[in-house]
Amino acid sequence: MSAAQELKAATISFSLPGDPIAMARDVAPILREEAPRIDALGQLTPRVVDALHERSLYRMLLPKSLNGYGAGLETFVRAMEIIAAADASTAWCIGQASGCSMAAAYVDGPVARTIWGDDPRGVLAWGFQLEGRAKVVPGGYRVTGKWGFGSGGHHATWMGAHCHVELPDGSLLKDADGKPIERTMLLRQDQLTWINNWDVVGLRGTGSDTYTLTDVFVPEAYTVRRDLDAERRIDDPFFQFSTTSAYSSGFAAVSMGIARGMMDELRSLAMVKTQSFQTRAMRDNPVMHHLIAENEAKLRSVRAFVLESIREAEDCIRRTGTLDLDSRVMLRLSTTNAIQQAKKVAEFAYHEAGATAIFASNAFERKMRDIHASAQQVQGRTGHIELCGQYFLGMAPATRFI
């Protein structure tokens, strides 16, 4: 019996409510209604968290052996766009947790079952290491540090803490190239101390606060090094995709979804609004006809590029058993480009809405803040385009974000 079969046999089974895209459409009206409250609260509301769990939307990338959808990146992107068009903070939290769930393939089966498989509301989240040290002790590690940008962490059952590993002699554990090795410690929510410092312009509802640990013991089994073939426990072709693949696809979908939501808002506005000192409605303006079509083409084009790069990467995995550098570069190029171009589409929609857009009583203002915050995240970094250009010119780019 394979490791995946053993895991499936041992895991408590519970049914999923339907396919992720249908569930995203189903939850969207709730998200639109709750969006202003999410923004004001600085976290997802209890109603939204319950609605997401009822539809198992945190489980899109989890393998079926752990009661996940095993949906794949294309379905994930399509569902995330729908969610982001309704509320970007909710989509961001799901995107973060979905990327973190890729770690399920790299921990021992009993640990995966504890975190995800046996708990219908099991969610892992984590943030960026500001300072993190895991001292090797018998049976595991003692962990001290601080981590920021813990998106969606307040509603997670488990949190990750990325750490450099300190050996008993005080030196750092390093890889063959002499670089410090990072392991991620997996801890229960009640082991953390939160610092509420998420005071930002956009994506306010993600609750991306800072959390700390002080000399907390973590057993060896509850640690993980991701995206390494030697560490993988689940033999599923999908996990040739990396955590970076999940994050880049998911956060590109957030930006595309926000832009789609703003285009929809602009079309609705154009049907009823007559601009100041004009005699005809916006929908009857030939300039608006051209601009709407032009930006629709821009948004649909970048979306098609993202989905094409995912399909070609899947084909590469089917043919070769691995994800080659060419496929990884195309995923990086398509997703980073999507984030940047979606922001331009959103800016167009905001501008053409005129003074209507500046009022907090409509969705333009919040969505505009959200897409600018989204584009500031590492997945949208302009330097990623440079790495792709290096590859196209026969150079060997750094692969940290490819």
Sequence-distant (6+) residues with CB within 8 A of 341 are 298, 299, 301, 302
Residue 249: domain span: 241-392
Three-class SS state of 142: strand
> Using 50, 70 and 90 to split pLDDT, how confident is the model at 324?
very high
Last residue of a domain, one of 210, 231, 252: 231
In a domain, 401, yes or no: no
**Rounded to an integer, what distance in angstroms lies between the CA atom of residue 242 and that of residue 237?**
11
In a domain, 39, yes or no: yes
| 187 and 276, same domain (yes or no) | no
Instruction: Give the count of domains, the chain.
Output: 3
Contact between 373 and 201 (Cβ < 8 Å):
yes
Last residue of a domain, one of 117, 132, 149: 117
In a domain, 138, yes or no: yes
Last residue of a domain, one of 194, 213, 231: 231
| 326 and 215, same domain (yes or no) | no
Average pLDDT over the chain, rounded to whole?
95
| 131 and 209, same domain (yes or no) | yes
State the CATH number of the domain containing residue 193: 2.40.110.10
| 111 and 226, same domain (yes or no) | no
Q: How many CB atoms lie within 10 A of CB 69?
A: 21
Sequence-distant (6+) residues with CB within 8 A of 217 are 137, 140, 141, 142, 143
State the helix-helix crossing angle for 20-41 and 363-376, rounded to 10 degrees: 100
In a domain, 35, yes or no: yes
Q: Give pairs for 242-246: CB < 8 Å, separation 24+.
A: 242/102, 242/323, 243/99, 243/100, 243/102, 243/103, 244/401, 244/402, 245/73, 245/313, 245/323, 245/328, 245/331, 246/61, 246/73, 246/76, 246/98, 246/99, 246/102
| 257 and 333, same domain (yes or no) | yes
Q: How many CB atoms lie within 10 A of CB 267?
A: 15
| 64 and 33, same domain (yes or no) | yes
Three-class SS state of 137: strand
| 53 and 26, same domain (yes or no) | yes
In a domain, 397, yes or no: no
The gap from C-alpha 347 to its chain's centroid, in whole angstroms, comes to 22
State the CATH number of the domain containing residue 340: 1.20.140.10
177-217 per-position pLDDT tens digit: 899 999 999 999 999 999 999 999 999 999 999 999 999 99
| 217 and 266, same domain (yes or no) | no
Predicted local distance difference test score (pLDDT) of residue 7: 54
246-298 per-position pLDDT tens digit: 999 999 999 999 999 999 999 999 998 887 777 778 889 999 999 999 999 99
pLDDT above 70: residue 10: no
Count of all residues that appear for the chain in the document: 402
State the CATH number of the domain containing residue 107: 1.10.540.10
Question: Which of 197, 184, 115, 193 shows the shortest CA–CA distance to 149?
Answer: 197
Phi, psi of 185 (to 5 degrees): -85, 135
